[in-house]
Every structure is written in structure tokens, then in C-alpha cells.
Structure 1
């Protein structure tokens, strides 16, 4: 249990202290709840990958997975962007993470689209949060599935890049860029302006946080997200993650 809060005699100071304490507790609550939801979602994903479930059981797990995703989105929306949340940065082998997630991503994409994975070993490690990046990849795959017609292709590739000139929101240095590119219809300009708002996808209206979570998974650890799209020529999301200096 938490220790009782020491409240000073000054009423204004007491109010500020109580407000700060509740903000911190809400932040910890959101962080712990997100970890629990991520663990449950991962367990469902592994069960679905096994291929030994009856169709009815798979359908029930799909419903449970969607409910968990909605719960995670509601928790983050409840906390709000103004409440500080812990960011557990770690060193991640991005290529290995992609290869481990490939079966899950193929399942998420469905039989109507082709998934191509182009990576090479030895590209080093990046700084990020593993569970957040996993969720971002799944969200990007879901986004492509909703936006592209049957028979389309989704290509995931990694590329080393260096940012020479810094900007206010991007530090100069080495990055490992993850490209998620489809050959679908592209994103209309009106939608691109609000693409990273909660409830928006490349097609317009989406479910939950969707692409907003992609940016939230990359930027807190020093990375950035770019989007390139042209009508009838597809869309490419570029997630640039800072490399860990050897």
C-alpha cells in the first residue's frame, strides 16, 4: 500500500502536493495497466499462431484481442497527453524483433495481402520501448489491411540513415529507419492533415488510437515518424529510431 501523503498547513501548497501525487499515481497506474494488457494481448497472439484452435475459438480470441486493444486505448485517453507517463527505453535489435513478429504480422494482415520482409543482420540496436514498437507494427499492418484492396503488397524493410542537420524536434545522428510501404490507393490530403489523431486511419475513420499510437511509440525515445503518400502509388510510413552508440 502507498504511504499516507504528508499535507502541509498552507492550503494552496497542500492542493498542489495532492494534485502532483495523484498525477504520479495515475501515471504509474496507466503504465502498469498497459503492461498487463500487453501481456494478455501477446498471449492471445501466441494462441492464435499455434493453428490448433477451432474456428469458433479463434473468433472468440479475436474478440478478446479487440477488447484488450480498446481497453489499452481507453486507458491512455483517460490519462491524457498532459500527464507524465514512464518511458522504459531499452536497447532493441530491430531486425530480430521484426523476424520474431513476422508470423503474427502475417496473421494480422490476412490472406488478402502479401507481406514482404527485407532486412539484413548486423544493423545494430536502437533505443526504444519493445512493447510500444510491437503495438505500432501491428497498428500499421491493420491500417494497411483496411486501406488497401485485396491483392496488394505490404513491404517492411530496414535502412541505416544519418541525420546531419538537426531540427527543433530531431537530433542529428545515426538512425535505423523502418519502412512500412504498401502499393495501395494512397492517403487523401484531407486525411493526411489529421492522420495521427486518435480514431483516424489512412482510409479516414479508424478504431481506437490506431496511428496516434505509432507516433507515441517512437518520439519519446528520440525518434520520429515521416509519411510519404501519392494517389494510386501507395503509402510509406518511415519510423526512424536512434541507434545505440557501440
Structure 2
């Protein structure tokens, strides 16, 4: 009888204090938090310039209107600007003459310009209409906890490479996007894992460089790449370094 009278937990023990329980965030909320941490609404009215490898890049954005430039110089003909806007792709010579480019090359140049700007401004862009986000779980990398969020793209509005799959690791405490991975199908396909370093804030926007890795084979799930990274099993491919980053916040950019 003593056992039966004292064996059951009290109501207070059955129902934990709601203040002590952290609410589970959705994938959308995690991405919103990360975008805010990296600069939030400032991305919507920023003119950004940087050098990456052999090109100069410039982006100008005001809300949904954007201009993405890649600039190079040719000793024979001068300045070449590959430009992507809401209206499509154009190539401009010496800021004056629009070149006649065949459609197949327009697609190639558009993807190339888009890709560099996309990675440079992450996690901004992960709330685009074509993005589909899914919370995979929580894991730890080098002693810190991270939300793992998978990103896929709808075919409509997702671009030529809409079948690519991405995984992002967001710090559960700060919201920082410290790692990302993706699988792609172009040029025979591949998998990459990127670890951020050299984070810096420039005029309110956070930029960071990356060490770019690949696994030893393609039979690897993206969500397992963080484990392989910690084990030292990934192969370094390159470094993604943005040089001379400049940011100007303008209210009436376009």
C-alpha cells in the first residue's frame, strides 16, 4: 500500500515548466534567424563589390530588383561586363556596346555569374520562392551544436541546376552559417563540403571565406559530411576567398 500511494509522479513532475523547454524551430525560422544574423534587411538595399580570382564582381539590389555583374578586362578589346538582371543576361563591352551572344552561352554565363554571387551572399537567398527547406536534425561539429537544414529547389524558378541539393549547418546559439554542402549533376556530378573561416562584418553585412572539400567517393549522404570532416577524411579542393569586399547601403539603389 505504501508503494501504491507514493509510486506515481506528481502533476508538477509530469508536466515540465514550459519556460524551461525551448520551442522547436522550423527550417524557415532557422533560416530567417541566420539571414538576420548575417545582415538581414541590409541585403535588400546593398551595393556589394569584391574580387574573386580573376574577376571583379558587383551586385546592386533593391527589394526584388537586382543587377549582378562580373567584370573582366581583355587587352585587345577592353572591359567586358557579364550582367544578369531581372530581365535576363547581357554582355556589355566598355560600358557602352551590348554584344550579340548566342542563347547557349547566355545560359552558361548566367549560371556562372549567379553562382558566385549566390555563395558570396549566403544565407541571403534561401527564402526565394523556388526554395524548399527541410529541417533534418541537430548535430555537433567541433563541440558546437548545429541545426542541419536541407534545401532543394522547385523546377519552376529553380534555374537550370534545380536538381542540386544543399545542406546547411546553422549554429544553434548564434544562427551563423558555418558549414554547407551540396551535390550537383553538371560535368559528371560531384559533392562539396565548405567550412567557413575569416568571418568579417562590412557595413553591417557578414562575409566569410571557405575551405572547399570533396569526399573520396560519391556514395555519401550530405548529412554525413560533417562527420567525415571531423574525421579528417575529406580532400581539400580549393579555397573560396573574397578580396577587397566593399559594401554601400543605399536607400534608392535602383
More strand by share: 2
More helix by share: 1
User: Is TM (by shorter chain) over 0.5?
Assistant: no
- Identify the TM-score tier after normalising by the shorter chain: under 0.3
Structure-1-length-normalised TM-score? 0.25
